[in-house]
Structure 1
Amino acid sequence: MTVAGIDWAPRPIGIEGDRERLSFIDGDVPLYPLPEWVWDDSVIGQCARRLRELHDASIGFGLDGAIWQSRAKVPAEVICHNDFAPHNLAFNGVAFVGAIDFDMCSPGPRLWDIAYLATRIVPLTGSTPDNAPGIHDARRRVELILRAYGSNATWNDVLRVAIVRLIDLAEISTEKAVELGKPHLRDEAEAYERDAQFLRTLRDAKGE
Structure 2
Amino acid sequence: MANSANELPGGNMNVVTRIGDTVQRIAGPWTPTVHRYLRYLERNGIDWAPRPIRAEENSEILTFIEGEVPLYPLPNWIWDDAVLIDGARKLRQLHDASIGFGLDGSIWQSPTKVPSEVICHNDFAPHNLAFAPDGSIVGAIDFDMCSPGPRLWDLAYFATRVCPLTQDPPEGAPGPDDAKRRIELILTSYGSDATWRDVLRVAATRLWDLAEMSIEKADELFKPQLRAEAVAYERDAEYLASFLRSA
| Residue 28, structure 1, aligned to residue 28, structure 2 | no
TM-score using structure 1 length: 0.97
Deviation readout 1:126-171 (Å, 9 max, x if unpaired): 0011210111000000000000000000011001101110000011
The match for 2:232 is: 191
| Residue 68, structure 1, aligned to residue 108, structure 2 | yes
Deviation readout 1:94-147 (Å, 9 max, x if unpaired): 111000000000000000000000000000000011210111000000000000
- How big is the shift at 1:180? 2.4
Counterpart secondary structure, 2:61: strand
- How big is the shift at 1:16? 5.1
- How big is the shift at 1:21? 1.6
In 2, Cα distance between equivalents of 1:184 and 1:18: 24
* Higher relative contact order, structure no. (Cα contacts within 8 Å, ≥ 6 residues apart): 1
Aligned length: 206
- Structure 2: state its 5+ residue gaps: 1-40
Structure 1 residue identity aligned to 2:225 = H
The match for 2:245 is: 204
- Structure 1: state its 5+ residue gaps: none
- How big is the shift at 1:176? 1.4
| Residue 19, structure 1, aligned to residue 59, structure 2 | yes
Structure 2 residue identity aligned to 1:119 = T
**Runs of 4+, deviation exceeding 3 Å:** 15-18
1:142 to 183, 198, 205: 183
Structure 2 residue identity aligned to 1:147 = T
Cα-Cα RMSD: 1.0
Aligned positions of 1:121-200 closer than 5 A: 121-200=162-241
Question: What percent of counterpart residues are identical?
Answer: 67
- How big is the shift at 1:19? 2.3
Query: Which moved further from structure 2: 187-196 or 20-29?
Result: 20-29
1:77 to 90, 114, 117: 117
